[in-house]
Amino acid sequence: MPEYRGDGDSFERNWNSTEEAHYLHWTRREPENQIQLAFRQHWSTFQELLPANLAGKRVLEVGCGRGSLSAYFADAGWDCTLLDISPAAINLARAAFEAQGLNARFEVGDCLDMPFETGGYDLVFSIGLLEHFEEIEDAIAEQVRILAPNGLFIGYVVPHIPENVQKEYAWVCDILRAILPLTSAQTKTPLYRSDQLSPPYLAAMGAAGLKNVGASGTYPLPMISNSPDFPFTLLPSDAERVLVKHFELILEKRHQQTGKNPWLCPEGDGQAFLVWGQKT
């Protein structure tokens, strides 16, 4: 059994103890903070990855946390299931969905042994989950198991890469931390994160039977905060709105220069990377 250094107890403490754990970073309106902007971009990018031959709209988010991206799927009419090992996270997600009138099923469970039938989902994805495993093979294989034929797997992985885009902005976050000291409600339990990029993930995906695999860096923007680690701490609302406008201009310029999705970038440059593949 792989060692899970970002253990369930650590996640449970973070979901129970931090104020920002209660934020659902989904909105039908224009994004008003950095993380709403990020999840809007995640949603657009995930839609681009969906294959034309995807048979249905049954989606599972593994390690869902508060379920911000699943909220987009639910709002678009997908049949959504959310799973997390943390009861606190599932309670937060359920409450947030109910408050927004979004429909989904919620399960507390271990992503290494999920309580779902083989082939039951057309899309299985995770955000910020796989980097917490030192060995990823079983976690990926279990997600592939529950994919239907031609179903799509997407993993959004947030490795520990000190030289990424955040490096140039560390001094800004340091100044913010001095101006806005962390409170007890913002204290976070440290979590293990791998420093691996996509090659071992792609190898595990191939071994699990996925085809048409691919990878890309993503989230090419810095996180500007007095505490940018999980769960992300937002700045005052006026500052967040200014940052969103600034970041939207950066993304538009990236799109104009490349003609490609501006949320994608070389691996190691962005905050995260994506891996994807289709079940045979």
Residue 53 pLDDT grade (very low, low, confident, very high; cuts 50, 70, 90): confident
Quick one: tokens of 121? 């989902």
Token match 């994608």: residue?
A: 264
> Residue 15: what pLDDT?
47
Give the other-Cβ count within 10 Å of 39's Cβ.
Answer: 20
What is this structure's pTM?
Answer: 0.91
At 182, the pLDDT band (50, 70, 90 cuts) reads confident
- Average pLDDT on 107-116 reads 97
pLDDT at res. 12: 53
CA distance 217 to 265: 5
Specify the 3-state DSSP secondary structure of 28: coil
11: pLDDT strictly greater than 60: no
Predicted confidence (pLDDT) per residue in 144-163, tens digit? 999 999 999 999 999 999 99
Give the closest residue to 271 by CA, choosing from 190, 216, 214.
Answer: 216
**Cis status of the peptide bond prior to 231, with omega within 30 of 0:** yes
Handedness of CA 260, 262, 263, 265 (dihedral sign): positive
CA distances from 152 to 26, 197, 207, 240, 271 (A): 23, 20, 15, 34, 23
Q: pLDDT grade, residue 5 (50/70/90)?
A: very low
Predicted confidence (pLDDT) per residue in 84-96, tens digit: 999 999 999 999 9
Phi/psi at 39 (5° precision): -70, -30
Q: What is the mean pLDDT of the chain?
A: 91
